Structure 1
Amino acid sequence: MNNQKLAQTIVENLGGEANITNLTNCITRLRIDLKSRSNVDLEAIKQLEGVLSVLDQGTIQIVLGPGKVTKVANEIHENTAIDVDVEDEGDDSEFDMASDTKAAYKAKQTSMFQQLFRHIGNIFVPIVPGLVASGLMLGIANLITNLANPDAGILDPAVLETDWYMLLKAIGNLLFGSLGVFVGINTAREFGGTMVLGGIAGLLIYAPVLGDVGSLNLFGLTLQLSSGLGGLLGVIVAAYLFTQIEKFTRKRMADSLDLVLTPLITVMIGSIVTIVVIQPLAGLLMDGITWFLVDVMLQAGGIIGGYVLAATFLPLVTVGMHQGLIPVHLELIDKFGSTTLLPILAMAGGGQVGAMIAIYIKAKNKRLKNTVASVLPVGFLGIGEPLIYGVSLPLGRPFITACLGAGFGGAFLSLFKVGAITVGPSGVVLIPLIADNKYLLYIIGLLISYAGGFVLTYLFGYKEEMVHKLYGESTSEMEKPDSKKPAQQEETHLSSPLAGELRPLSELNDEVFATEAVGKGIAIYPRNGKLYAPANGKVTTVFPTGHAIGITTGTGMEILLHIGLDTVDIKENVFELNVAKDEDVETGQLLCTFDIDAITNKGYDITSPIVITNSDAYDTINPVSQKEIEVGNRLLTVK
């Protein structure tokens, strides 16, 4: 029975797609919630070829095993109207290639600064659609204003007094007038706090009453207050502080008093610290950043500064640090009415487009030409990730020539001080958001960046022998490991990926693992939140939540590392991956870090099964007999 037929039969025996209210794809099983049990035949599902087990614990669990469960979930997703949380394992699409390459780079972003910028991105990215919509409305209003200028003589100046014009401008300003609230809410959500308290932190920074107070004497200090001091950076720090105060207080507060006292203490202490410490320091920091970018790089640096900014932007993108510039753009807009930084940085995408055109013309490899043709259209629209992660970055040299070519467009725009009225996309989509009617100058800069990326890549950036970097050397089928039939060898040892207490699978409060339905192995109750590779191999499965990782060794042994039980249901960021799918790993390499306290506080069992999912291919799989184990110690002996 193929996967499509299996998916269809499962849905039919669950009473049809209309009877399924929720379907989640875990790494080993499908979890299904139903409207009614009247037309459900679980016994028939148990008999289906490919189904390892079926559990009925309120939520139906159909165990299919790693890999197969994703393929069956994909079939359900593609052939029914059921919304399935699936992990795409396709490897033929150019966009899948780009996603995998991106994941590999993102997985290595483990420094404090890289994680900081990742958090900033999670805070601001959800707001960007609103910024674009609001910016376009203000752009239309500004265009009407310019056309109604008596010198232009195109529109009657009376149009500026109409209700429609004033409404358009008022709605366009709505988000910008309350941006601090949204940033505060998203910050609290990102760090696990109460969102409304984060919103209060944003209101505090931008409260007009602060300007009315003027100065304040606290703790012997005379503080000069003003609305907006510290900017959005101050909002992020304040909302984060509110979240930490809230968590600290809630752990120590009696349940009966929590609802009243925890928010009160959070707001009172958080507000005082924000006014006395955060606002002055954040104000100084934002002034320093603005001074460096505007006064040093753009004004003093001139065209050289513009070149450097445009040419170095994409390396920041690959490590996620570009998201940290969003509050800088917004600060510039708040101070000067537009950000001259954004159009310059947008030239980086133009350099990539030019590089893709050069590669398409020079390449002889048909697969590469098809890849470029697939990703190039979205590049013109300012979506550069498929170009970067799908072609130029894996190839290497074209990424560099594209960056260098983009610098010429940045230099041109810095010369004419072309700005944007809001944060938004790049490429041709940014044209309506350009300030002061400098649309033509922006277009010329974009064409220059296209030309720069094209010329440098065509002359220096691409050679046909580089294609193997994208698609790999040709390898005969005999050289590839067969995951279903491991190579014969007498004995293999797996190292422990965790430090903690050993527990047999049979004791687990999860029937799938306890009955060894997905494979034999052992479980570990970890004492710290670090998961390491138990053997050399390739990462073949990484579940999006980060709670489960699959590794296949060179001999074909398939190992599943599952952090905790039922942890797929955790929506917060308690897992931090350090590897990506298809990445080669070595024994003892850090795969993932996780917050044990956060997991257990949510009521989840942290006991972590380590199983060999193709156990039938081996004669014996014997765990060690001790009760405690350290990372790197022998865990399993496989014959």
Structure 2
Amino acid sequence: MMNNKELGEKIIDLVGGEKNVNSLIHCATRLRFNLKNFDKANKSALSDIPDVLTVVEKGGQLQVVIGNKVGKVHTEIMKSHNISSGSEQDGKNSEKKAGLMANVFEYISGTFTPLIPALAGAGMIKALLAVLTILNWINVEGSTYAVLNGASSGLFYFLPIFVGVSAARKLGANPYVAGVIAAGLLDPNFTALIESTGDTTFMGIPLIAASYSTTVFPILIAMAVYAPLERWLKRISPDTIQLFFVSMISILVMVPLTALVFGPFGEYISSGIGSAVAFMLDTSAILSGILIALAWPIIVILGVHWGIFPIILDNMSRGGDMIKPITAAAVFAQIGIAFGIFLRARKNKELRSLTFAATTSGLLAGVTEPILYGLILRYKRLIPLTLISGAIGGAMIAVFDVKISTFVFNSIFTIPNYTPTLGYVIGIGSSFLAATVLAFIFGTEGKKIKSEDENAVNAQEENPSIESVKFDIQSPLKGELIPLEEIDDPVFSNASMGKGVGIEPIEGVVYSPFNGKVVTLFPTKHAIGLVSEDGVEVLIHIGIDTVQLEGKHFEAHVATDAIVKKGDKLITFDIQAIQDEGYKTTTPIIITNTKDYLDAIPMNPKQINAGEHVLTILR
């Protein structure tokens, strides 16, 4: 192992040398390089350094993750090199220097991710109504249907408002003013202009009146302009009038500007994309279906799939979308893979349990992430089987010209929402059947797949001197438990820092999870490292990339080297203020010395209170 100085020199050499570094900052776990030329950095060699846990290129930064000693390595680098330390704000600003497409997809994805539960819920009500109508269990002319239809359609009609609020939160602007801007485009007085027979103008400027209900592109463009406008207005306006002046000017400028420019431009973009997809399908439906179905799992893995949904939603508002039905072929191919492995792995109870649960959740809810990340990517031979099966169904769905007009997850319950239904069933059925057969014949051997508990038991059998000891770690936060792999940061989600669990906090207080000592308290107070009396090292990292807030909205109640008891208050933080700044408050709880133990087993996802059991450490 290298000492801190040697490690620092090695890292500087592999990022392209001192002259290739614009600035260097660090957070609780990683060095964050702002480089002049990213091509000069040897990421592969950096990852091979034993002290480096992983290397991530994100937000215009090269992030070298080295864990708890990052501060010492940073100090050695700054001693020996003429490198600007910059500031955390520089790190934040470097996010804006990332590639244009990366920023666009990050913006769209960050906008739509919080809306997914609402979209899925409303879509499922649409699916329920479709089933009830087919069975003649509800009268489509009756008041009951009208109420339920309103419950499912309201979100889609007022979608620009919800998109505006979410986009503003993502960009750090006032979400309520954003909602007012979007609502202005849906006001009955404005929508009445669409039916006007005379010249429609605004202050003498020709105005193209259009219906913005269910659209997303115009408001996405508008919010990208509104956010910097609001920041500029806050800088120039006196404090005495800022309360009303900023919002008043923002609304006065943005509503007409959106109606005159962004609305028509957004409509042209969405219409053009929809026409291009339609042209592609008309030219060669089979080839188009194959290509879209092949690309979809890759797009999901890259995390940019939510960036495609504005296109899908706009297609839906124009008479029906053809993309989402084809992606369903890829989804049902993944479900078929899980079911095929379930049938194949007869002797592995753990694997059969995993694949049965994954198949069930996929069929009933359209949730396939456990299959994709926990099975297909884990066993690479399943990847071509998945792609082939999806391509088969995608081609059939495209040939039948299947469309959908409302947002739903691709499950068996939403089948009636697709038309023609028979063509859709044939397509997804073909994908599911092909994947099941291929996985059963060529899939991975069940006996090779062992659960973490089995690995721990096997370790004991191979070394009888190992004494099984359990340490229970208590939750430092109140909130909702989520699996580590669902955290939106690859450094934590792939367990590079160690095993653990994530918490979506609903109360901004961090308590000590055990009796122990504070070994690290980062200056920005967004992260704290503890060691228990038994030697378990825990990192509590409040939020994702919140180091860039430079301590704003955080307050520490302990100091480094402080002795703490279980339940002692460590840090308080303002959840809403952090989220308003555009950051997620998802908090990873990481056992940083996982390698010293047999396993670190998290509790299943659930609502949890501070002080309740959250992790079990096996030694």
Could you say which TM-score interval applies, normalised by the shorter chain? 0.5 to 0.7
**Would you say the 8 A contact 1:339–1:421 is kept in 2?**
yes
Q: Distance in 1 between matches of 2:249 and 2:325?
A: 44
8 Å contact kept, 2:157–2:214:
no
Which residue in 1 is equivalent to 2:163? Answer: 183
Q: 1:481 to 1:295 in 2, by over 3 A?
A: farther
Code of the aligned partner of 1:570: I
- State the match for 2:337 in structure 1: 355
Rounded Cα–Cα distance in structure 2 between residues aligned with 1:259 and 1:424:
40
Stretches of structure 1 that go unaligned for 5 or more consecutive residues are: 1-26, 28-109, 148-153, 485-509, 533-537, 550-557, 586-639
Matching residue's letter, 2:287: I
Q: Does the aligned pair in 1 maintain the 2:527–2:540 contact within 8 Å?
A: no
How far is 1:232 from its partner? 0.7
Tell me the amino acid that sits aligned with residue 356 of structure 1: A
CA distance in structure 1 between the partners assigned to 2:367 and 2:344 by the alignment: 23
User: Which digits, 9 at most, give the CA deviation of each residue in 1:185-213, with x for residues without a partner?
Assistant: 23233333333322223234444145347
CA distance in 2, matches of 1:576, 1:115: 17
Q: Report deviation, 1:334.
A: 1.1
CA contact (8 A) 2:335 2:363 kept: yes
CA RMSD of aligned residues (A): 4.8
Aligned with residue 116 of structure 1, among 62, 82, 107: 107
| In structure 1, distance between residues paired with 2:155 and 2:587 | 36
Superposed displacement of residue 413, structure 1: 1.4
The answer on 1:284 being equivalent to 2:272 is: no
Structure index of larger Rg:
1
**Do the aligned partners of 1:120 and 1:324 also contact (CA within 8 Å) in 2?**
no
**Structure 1 residue 199 corresponds to structure 2 residue 179:** yes
- Displacement, 1:395? 1.6
Aligned to 1:32: none
Percentage of pairs with the same residue:
20
> 1-side partners of 2:227 and 2:446: how far apart?
53
- Counterpart of 1:462 (choices 444, 447, 453) is 444
Distance in 2 (CA, whole Å) between partners of 1:260 and 1:311 is: 51
Q: Does 1:566 find its partner at 2:571?
A: yes
1:345 to 319, 327, 335: 327
The residue matched to 2:407 in structure 1 has which SS? coil
Structure 1 pair 140/360, CA: closer, same or farther in 2 (3 Å)? closer
Query: Does the CA-based 8 Å contact 2:287-2:395 persist in structure 1?
Result: yes
Q: List per-residue Cα deviations over 1:487-519 (Å, max 9, x = no partner).
A: xxxxxxxxxxxxxxxxxxxxxxx9999xx9853
Determine which of 236, 242, 265 is the counterpart of 2:220. Answer: 236
Cα deviation, residue 367, structure 1: 2.7
Q: Distance in 2 between the 1:164 and 1:367 partners?
A: 45
Determine the C-alpha separation between the residues in 1 that align with 2:306 and 2:374: 21
Structure 2: gaps (5+ residues): 1-27, 29-100, 471-508, 530-535, 548-559, 563-569, 595-619
Report the Cα offset of residue 523 of structure 1: 5.5
Number of positions where the alignment pairs a residue of Structure 1 with one of Structure 2: 419
1:131 paired residue among 109, 122, 129:
122
Change (3 A) 1:348 1:388: same
1:342-421 maps to which residues of 2 (within 5 A)? 342-363=324-345, 364-381=347-364, 382-421=366-405
Alignment match of 2:429 (pick from 439, 447, 450): 447
Q: Does 1:327 align with 2:310?
A: yes
User: Could you say what secondary structure the match of 2:403 adopts?
Assistant: coil
Provide Cα deviations, 1:255-282, integer angstroms capped at 9, x if missing partner.
Answer: 3312221110111222343234422332
Distance in 2 of aligned mates of 1:240 and 1:329: 20
Distance 2:352 2:407 in 1: 33
Note the alpha carbon deviations across 1:424-480, whole angstroms, 9 max, x for none: 111202113224xx3333222222111121233334442458637988796556999
Q: TM-score, normalised by structure 1?
A: 0.55
- Residue 519 of structure 1 is matched in structure 2 by 517
Q: Is the 8 A contact 1:117 1:320 kept in 2?
A: no
Residue 249 (structure 1) aligns with: 233
In the TM superposition, what whole-angstrom CA distance separates every residue of 1:256-311 from its partner, at most 9, and x where no partner exists?
A: 31222111011122234323442233223212321232221x22230221122122
TM-score when normalising by structure 2: 0.56
- SS of the equivalent of 1:424 reads coil
In the alignment, residue 351 of structure 2 is paired with which amino acid?
L
Provide the secondary structure at the position in 2 that maps to 1:566: strand
1:300 pairs with 2:291: no
- Partners of 1:402 and 1:249 lie apart in 2 by 52
Distance 2:326 2:131 in 1: 22
